[in-house]
Amino acid sequence: MALDYVTLRLIWWLLLGALLIGFAVMDGFDLGVGALLPFVARTDSERRIAINTIGPVWEGNQVWLILGGGAIFAAWPLLYAVAFSGFYLAMFLVLCALILRPVGFKFRSKAADPRWRAVWDAALFIGGFVPALIFGVAVGNVLVGVPFRFDDTLRLTYDGGLLGLLNPFALLCGLVSLAMLTLHGGAYLALKAGQPVAGRAVRYATWAALALIVLFSVGGIWVAFGLDGYSVTQSLGGNGPSNPTLKHVATGGGWVLNYGRYPWMIVAPLLVYIGAPLAILLVHLRRPGLAFAATGFTVAGVVATAGVSTFPFLLPSSLDPDMSLTVFDASSSRNTLLIMLIVTVVFLPVVLAYTAWVYRVIRGRVTAEWVTENSKSIY
């Protein structure tokens, strides 16, 4: 039986969430390693250990960001237009930071001069720290609402700037993201790096887990009592046209009300409160593989919490709430969603299988002895 429009929209909402979680989990740990680099590695040999734990995988991990952006472009064109226009300067900062990563990886090993390598180590740190922070700031602004509206012909007006994005709640979300990815990166180093890098990574991951729990809790309280939230009061339904101007939206309690409407959504924040402490317990019990899996579930919990809390909204408008973008009025056509779904069903398992095979091939720790033996062929 053919899938109806509302079902396809819900499927693509779930797939978008899966792609964003995939990016946060897969690319998140190497961003976390970059942010931790100055703290877990004190000598050139130790820095090479940390860098080469992610050396074989960082390029492949960034593909998840491209997949997520491509899915937004194809499945939610209005969301792509508003987000990439309104967040343009923030995206530009992220892009500059991400460019520093390949440059840092490629140029660091070109000369043995300590000053030369220190410059590229700083570039790798910036390339991990800045995206980890800014991605969280972007999610924070989604929860607050973004100042945009459409006219009768769906022409976009955005009434904001970079400084407006750096509001207190968004900065808190940025710190949540930074703590989350630092925890994930620390767990990865505990799994893949030799000593003393792994030992230091465990200490910083412990502090990051505690910071994540506190900041995530503060954010939850802020959402419950400090943000209005949004809720749809009148619309044409899930099979209606992709026109965000044909509904009415009210403010007040929307994000919290979702957990009353859909009790199963509580699973998302519970993953954070269970996963973060469990990861630290496991890493101290010297079970780094299980600890890394636990941090992966923690990352998924944080991202999923933002997604389910705002459902069915993709991007609320603080300027004119009625113009907010939802799952049911900002999508591509039914045929587009169906064709994309068929392609995804065919190729996504291939990507996952290949990724699993790559990680199996490169399993094992990066030690000082291994770095010395392969010093001419690694970063």
- Predicted confidence at residue 165, as pLDDT, reads 86
CA distance linking residue 286 with residue 295, whole number of Å = 15
CA distance linking residue 336 with residue 41, whole number of Å = 48
- Predicted confidence at residue 293, as pLDDT, reads 96
pLDDT tens, residue by residue, 136-154: 999 999 999 999 999 888 8
Q: Please state the pTM of the whole predicted model.
A: 0.93
- Predicted confidence at residue 84, as pLDDT, reads 85
pLDDT tens, residue by residue, 19-65: 999 999 999 999 999 999 999 999 999 999 999 999 888 888 888 88
**Cα-to-chain-centroid distance, residue 239:** 30
Cα torsion angle, 156, 162, 167, 171, sign: positive
On whether the CB atoms of residues 329 and 241 are closer than 8 A, the answer is yes
- Predicted confidence at residue 126, as pLDDT, reads 95
Residues of the chain with pLDDT under 50: none
DSSP reduced 3-state for 236: coil
CA distance linking residue 180 with residue 213, whole number of Å = 9
Question: Counting every residue, how long is the chain?
Answer: 379
- Predicted confidence at residue 45, as pLDDT, reads 92
- Predicted confidence at residue 291, as pLDDT, reads 96
What residues form DSSP beta bridges with 62? none
Question: Taking Cα atoms as reference points, which of 229, 205, 228, 225 lies closest to residue 217?
Answer: 225
